[in-house]
Every structure is written in C-alpha cells, then in structure tokens.
Structure 1
C-alpha cells in the first residue's frame, strides 16, 4: 500500500482504472461458464450498479467539489451547478453524435449518426460511451489528492475506484451475454465485453493530468464527472434494470443496497 501511495497521481489513476477495467473483464468472463444469466439476477445487478454510481456521484465527487469550491473562494452552489449540468450536457451531446446500440435492443434502435458499422461494434460503443465518465471520475479524484485540498483524500479516491470496479462487473456481463445469445463465440463475446472498458484507463489518465495542470477548475471537474455519471444512471442503468415490471421492488432494494455499500466505503475510507 505504501508503494501505491508514493506513486505519481497519474500513475495511481492509471492503476486504479486498470483495476476497474479488470472487473469488467471478470464480468464478461461469465460467458465462458453460462449461456445466460437469470433476468431477475441481471436486473438486480444493474440496479446495484446504479446505486453505487449515485452514491459515488455525491459522496466522492459532488460533496468534495462543493467543499473545494468554498475553499478556493468560488460560489459553491454555482460551481456545482455549472459542473454538474456540464457533465450531463456533454454526455447528451456525445450520446447524440456517437453511433451506438444499447444491449438487448434491435438494430433499428441504433442511436447517434447513421452508420454501416456492425451490431457488435455499436454494442461496444454504447458501453464505452458510458464508461468514459467512470474513468474520468477516478482520474479526477486521484488528481484532486495531489492538489492537497482538505476534502480530497487518497482513501476517498481508492473508495471511488473500488465502487466503480464493483459496478463494472454487471456491465461486462450485460455486453458479453447478449452477444453469446446471438450466436457469437464465447471468446469473441468476452473480448468485446471487456473491450468496452478499455477507455477507462485512458479517461482516468486524462482526468488526472487535466486537474494537475489546471487545479483552479478542480471543483468544476469533480462536479462535471458527477453529472456525467448521473446521466448514465438515469438514461441507461435505471430504465434497463426496471424494464421487467415484476422485478421492480427487488431491483429498487438492490439499488439502495448499492448506494449503501458505496456510501459506507466512501465515508469509512474517505
């Protein structure tokens, strides 16, 4: 642990996001052991992931962002709103432009600009798009520690990486399993499932570098990452997890469980 603490924040962010990618790969690897996952379990896993991301957005990003804004002499609520809404608007614009297809939907439900790309490519892009804010959030959190501001702690950054990693497991499964059901080989289904999270180390390094170079915008960056993550939760995870009405109560409890676990991690470690 001491070795990790002594590393450059950019390297810390890279290693942390390598961990979050590896958990995605572990989730995608379920395709080697089963043809499908029970829908109730899958919905609960996605609900759990939504809860983790909601808690992480506040405890790991928004709350420290507000504290940092006040410490730096900003107007805290204004900084939070600008950053938070900026993250959501960025994801909306990216969602509108980048061609992608959410798992479980037919090919005619492709979003973004028109393209002739294959279904598998569009599926990867859908999850990749929504992994960007997760990697960015981890990178910004580790970069914030280097700024030596009171509300940024290495424990909080580690807690965020662990939380993001936990919720990445069902995301890997949610990509690889549908591809396997469509007749793709286990190996290719796994490869595509894990590839969807390769963007996280890239986004993590970029986020850490950005806040190290421009520390005055750090509160905005934290709130931006929170807004981008909430956009993903509301736009994808919650609707997908609650698509089966019979499972809504169970999924809601799973979401609250995910929120509670992430809150415990952040408060205990942060």
Structure 2
C-alpha cells in the first residue's frame, strides 16, 4: 500500500536526519579544545535559521495547501501550545538559562539537559515522519538533517564546557538523535492511523518548531553578547535552506 510505503519513508528519513547529530559532534572529538561560546551561538543561530525556513516552506506551506487556513491555524497553534506546556511543566536544565519547569532535585543535571534537548528534538523528528506522506519529504529531511549538524556540534561543545567528559557528551548527543527517530515514528504512525490528520500535523510540527526557535534557541544564543553573530548565522541558515528548497522543489 502507498500509505505503508509513506510510513516507511517517514521513519527512514527521520532516522537519517537524527543520525546527523553525531556527524556534527565527531569533529569535536579532535578539535574541541579550540572551540568556545561564540561557536555554540553561531551554530545554534544557523540551526535556528534552517528550522524557520523548513517550518515556513516545507511544513506550513503544504499544510495550508492541503487543509486550508482553519485546519492550519488549529494545528499550528496546538503545536506551539503543547511544546509550551511541556517546556513549562517538565523539569529540564538549559546550559545558560538554568532550570525550568518542575523541581526534581533527585534527577541528575545531565538528565535535565537531556529532557531540555528532547523538548527541542522530538517535534523535529515528528516533522520528518509526518512529511513522509508529502512531496516535501526529502526537503524536510534535508532541512532537519542539515540543522542537526550544527545543533549536534553545539550540544557537544556545551556539554564539554559544562564539565562532562567527551564520552558522556557524545553519548548525550547521540541520544538527541535517537529522540528524533522516536518522534519520526510517532508522527508517521499518527498519519498511518488517519490521513485526515495530515494537514493538522504538518501545521502542528511547524508551530512546535517555530515556538522552539523563538522561545528556546534564539534566547539561548543572546545571553553571552554574541547576538549579532548568531543573528547573521540565523540569516545564513535561513538563506541556505530557502535556496535548497527551490533547488529541490
């Protein structure tokens, strides 16, 4: 069946996109001592730009075309709201902003970091899995995979700067990629159950990703005096993804 093949495509593409987090981390096994805060902010800024472009052109656009304005609005707002609720009530730790959500002092800080990254990456995996049912599947996978490379590198650097070993930092970075695979399976599975959910879920993924960029990624890059640098890298990431969207379209 075509639906089954689309499900498989969504899962495979989300898996490939998730793996690229490690691609960004691998160079740091050798060169991590030469990288610092400016690199983290630049890489996260670039990742934010790619996510915004992918949300606009590969998720929001198709959602509007398939489902119209009302379905898009419902899905988009629900995506942003759900991530907001997770961010507000789940215990997690940012590298600079510190603790957010419920207080669970028994939980090790490294796992609080993992939860924070999960809030970011699960919607990204969902986006790829859901897009497996659309012609934009490759575009979304490339976008998420491309932004995972700088995001994976930034995660690796931030963890090592926080005092964690190279092995632990690499393992956590790998876990962030696995989270995307799980998100992809979940998203593709929802559409497999009912294709009527497709416009809602495309919009949902777009709303979730835009919220993450605005509420988490951009503020995190503006806390160390590197606002202009991260902004230009955001513009560069948006530009690159926009051009790729046309070339692949």
TM-score by length of structure 2 reads: 0.91
Structure 1 partner of 2:219: 239
Separation in structure 2 between the aligned mates of residue 182 and residue 201 of structure 1, nearest angstrom: 26
Q: How many residues align?
A: 246
Runs of 4+ residues deviating >3 angstroms: none
CA contact under 8 A between 1:35 and 1:181: conserved in structure 2? no
Q: Which runs of 5+ in 1 are unaligned?
A: 70-75, 146-152
Q: Residue 24 of structure 2 is aligned with which of 22, 27, 31?
A: 27
Higher alpha-carbon Rg: 1
Q: Describe how 1:1-270 pairs up with structure 2 within 5 A.
A: 8-33=5-30, 34-35=32-33, 37-69=35-67, 76-105=68-97, 109-115=98-104, 116-143=106-133, 145=134, 153=135, 156-245=136-225, 247-270=226-249
Deviation digits for residues 86-124 of structure 1, max 9, x if unmatched? 00000011112221111234xxx3222221110111111
In terms of mean alpha carbon deviation, does 201-210 or 80-89 score higher?
201-210
CA RMSD of aligned residues (A): 2.0
Separation in structure 1 between the aligned mates of residue 43 and residue 94 of structure 2, nearest angstrom: 17
CA contact under 8 A between 2:43 and 2:154: conserved in structure 1? no
TM-score by length of structure 1 reads: 0.85
Separation in structure 2 between the aligned mates of residue 214 and residue 110 of structure 1, nearest angstrom: 38
Residues 178 and 38 of structure 1: is their aligned pair in 2 closer, same or farther, counting only changes over 3 Å?
closer
Residues 163 and 202 of structure 1: is their aligned pair in 2 closer, same or farther, counting only changes over 3 Å?
same
Deviation digits for residues 17-39 of structure 1, max 9, x if unmatched? 22222211122334412136232
